[in-house]
Amino acid sequence: MDWLTCSHSPACTGIARPPYGLCLAHLSPEDLASELAAMVPGRLLDLRGTTVTGDLLGLVVEAVLGRPGRARLDAARFTGDVRLAGVTFAGDVSLDGARFDRLASFFGARFEGNVSMAGARFARELSFHGVRVRGHLSLDRAVMSRDALFSQTAFGNGLSCERARFDGYATFDGARLGEGASFRGARFGRTLSFRKVTGGAGFDAAHFAADAYLSASGRFSASRARADGALDVAVTGCRVDLRRVEVAGTTVLRLTDSHADLEGAVLRRPAAVRGRGRASLTSLRQVDAADLALSGLDLSSCRFAGLVHPGGVRLQDCTFALTPRGVRVSLRWPMLRWISRRRALADEHTLRGWAAAADGTTTADRLATLYAGLQSQVDDHGTSADFAFAAMEMRRQASHRWWLSAYWLLCGYGMRMGRAAAWFALLAALMAGAVFWTSTSDAERRASIPNPAVHHH
């Protein structure tokens, strides 16, 4: 303790009140009345380490007219119900390490400064419903043994719940997070409802032991998070980081004008990513998902290399990168190539040098397998045909076999019949030219031979 403790007993950690040497809880009724009379609204309230009963709390709130100033309540123990409706804290509030044995309700309270409850323990329900915190609220390492209610709460400078433990139901529905919320390393024992939230949120390395319904705007991160139940995420205007997330239940990700990265995610049950507006995925590299539905997404820059189950991905109304159109000259056979416009994966652009390489793991063999797996999972026939063509292209790139090059050159692997028709027309023209040249030469030769009958006469 960094304060002089109560002399009533060695077990009491309450801050001693001069000149009595006792904490507020152990003062005589007369001395307590004197101390309460000396309290002034808007001034410092110091109850560090003090055991505060429900009656004592009521007397203190009444003494400061419901408007304490700076409040130092570190390591205080509240043994009765805490109900602070209508109380306004004019300064910063510190409740680090405090213990609440019964209900802790701050419903209707106002905090004009910052609030710190780091390491606090709540044995019963905690309610911050509708509270306004002008500054920043910290619940780092706090333990909430029952339900925690933060719906409709406004945090002017954000919220921090790093390594906090929510053992009961937790709700933040409709909260306004100001500069954002951090739940890094937090644990949620029951359902978490984080719907219609305004502001960014981070759940990196968090553990959801039950279903979690999450939302955010501006920024959302849950990298390395683990969900034992269902995970439902809805974001607007966000950059979404879900790298290496692991979900045992169903997964639904709704993106509105947002960009998501799922690299290394493990999705053990059916999963769906749905896009609206300008929604895109930037990476599905190393994703392990046997049943993944993608719809309404821009996948033109999405990396697919290392996708564990390409055949388990269903693609609907998605857009892809396009290959450049034109003629290319190469030192390898065939030396002259023409490239028609078709849909392709961003990984192929990297492999062919059409885009900056993100890594060196993409190979033609792997891309051939990837294209073959995705080919039948696309709802659009044209895209499916392009992927089938790309699979053959990658096999040709990987094997360098002459017959694949010839197959490509003659008819585009049987998928560019216009090319075969062009070759046929060229061959027919050459044959016709040869016949014409041969017949013309023969006629000229016959015309140059003298007629013996004319000379006889």
**Integer Cα distance of 225 and 220 in angstroms:** 12
Prior bond of 334 cis (ω within 30°) = yes
**Integer Cα distance of 309 and 265 in angstroms:** 12
Residue 91 resides in a domain: no
Q: Do 389 and 424 belong together in one domain?
A: no
Q: Do 402 and 446 belong together in one domain?
A: no
Q: Do 344 and 388 belong together in one domain?
A: yes
Residue 210 resides in a domain: no
Q: Do 427 and 405 belong together in one domain?
A: no
CA–CA–CA angle 68, 72, 78 (5° rounding): 90
So what's the pLDDT on residue 426? 61
So what's the pLDDT on residue 116? 98
- In sequence order, what DSSP letters do the residues of 190-232 get, joined into one string? S-EEE-S-BS-EE-TT-EESS-EEEEEEEEEE-TT-EESS-EE
Residue 81 resides in a domain: no
So what's the pLDDT on residue 356? 63
Q: Do 333 and 353 belong together in one domain?
A: yes
So what's the pLDDT on residue 204? 98
So what's the pLDDT on residue 184? 98
Residue 265 resides in a domain: no
Q: Do 376 and 362 belong together in one domain?
A: yes
Q: Do 349 and 403 belong together in one domain?
A: yes
Write out pLDDT tens, residues 294-320.
999 999 999 998 899 998 999 999 999
So what's the pLDDT on residue 378? 86
Q: Do 434 and 379 belong together in one domain?
A: no
Judged by DSSP in three states, 381 sits in helix
Q: Do 333 and 406 belong together in one domain?
A: yes
Amino acid at 85: A
Which stretches of the chain score pLDDT less than 50?
A: 402-405, 407-412, 414, 457
**Distance of CA 149 to CAs 94, 334, 407, Å?**
20, 68, 67
Q: 278, 298 in Cβ contact below 8 A?
A: yes
Q: 193, 172 in Cβ contact below 8 A?
A: yes
So what's the pLDDT on residue 412? 47
Residue 79 resides in a domain: no
pTM of the model: 0.83
Residue 405 resides in a domain: yes
Residue 311 resides in a domain: no
- In sequence order, what DSSP letters do the residues of 324-360 get, joined into one string? PPEEEE-SSSSSEEEE---EE-HHHHHHHTSS--S-S
Q: Do 351 and 404 belong together in one domain?
A: yes
| Residue 428 belongs to domain spanning | 418-450
So what's the pLDDT on residue 126? 97
Residue 424 resides in a domain: yes
**Integer Cα distance of 375 and 384 in angstroms:** 5
Q: Do 376 and 428 belong together in one domain?
A: no
Give the count of domains, the chain.
2
- H/E element holding 272? strand 271-276
What is the spatial order of strands in the sheet that 266-267 belongs to? 51-52, 77-78, 99-100, 121-122, 143-144, 165-166, 187-188, 207-208, 226-227, 246-247, 266-267, 288-289
Residues in the chain: 457
Dihedrals phi, psi of 242, to nearest 5 degrees: -120, 30
Dihedrals phi, psi of 445, to nearest 5 degrees: -65, -45
Q: Do 396 and 426 belong together in one domain?
A: no
So what's the pLDDT on residue 431? 76
Q: 295, 275 in Cβ contact below 8 A?
A: yes
Question: How would you class 252 by CB atoms within 10 Å of its CB: exposed for 0-12, middle for 13-18, buried for 19 or more?
Answer: middle
So what's the pLDDT on residue 402? 42
